[in-house]
Amino acid sequence: MKWFLILSFLMYLNDEIIIFDKDNNTQKWYITNDTVMGGISSSSVKINEKGYLVFSGRVSTENNGGFAMTRMSTAISLNKHSKVVLRVKGDDKQYQLRLKSDESQRYSYVQAFRTNKQEQEIILPLTGFYPAFRGRKLSFGNFSANQIKEVAVLIGNKKDENFSLEIIKIAIQ
């Protein structure tokens, strides 16, 4: 009984929700590129030999395009959690992490992050995610929901570019 209480207490202290990591990488990630609006950007997601998610491709601004995105449905209840922690290895480019708190929601809550070519940890406060729709900031409050129903990563830097982002871990703390 004593060990059960100690273990329960330690689990309470490490109240981390893993969305993705090498031990939890069987989720279905979907691609949504600007082709849905006539663009010609292309991207893919795969799990590499280390068990990490690799989101890569080419963004093209032709035909009024300019973005590539991968997304995953989820069902996360937020209690006292206050931040998203990413562990990534990138390509010196800026990406966006996007959250939805409802499946029918047309807009996303967005926060940008910049990568470098080294493995890095990026901490994004949940209250820093602002509402946006089709690249335009909306005029209501930042993320304050008690759940996350979708997580997405988008690149759209208004230029033609190749990209590759290795996602090692996504967690809520």
**pLDDT tens-digit profile of 13-31?**
458 999 999 998 888 999 9
Tell me the per-residue pLDDT of 53-93, one tens digit each, with 9 for 90 and over: 999 999 999 999 999 999 999 999 998 999 999 999 999 99
Give the contacts of 151 (CB within 8 A, at least 6 positions apart): 19, 71, 72, 74, 97, 98, 99, 170
> With 60 as the cut, is the pLDDT of residue 6 above it?
no
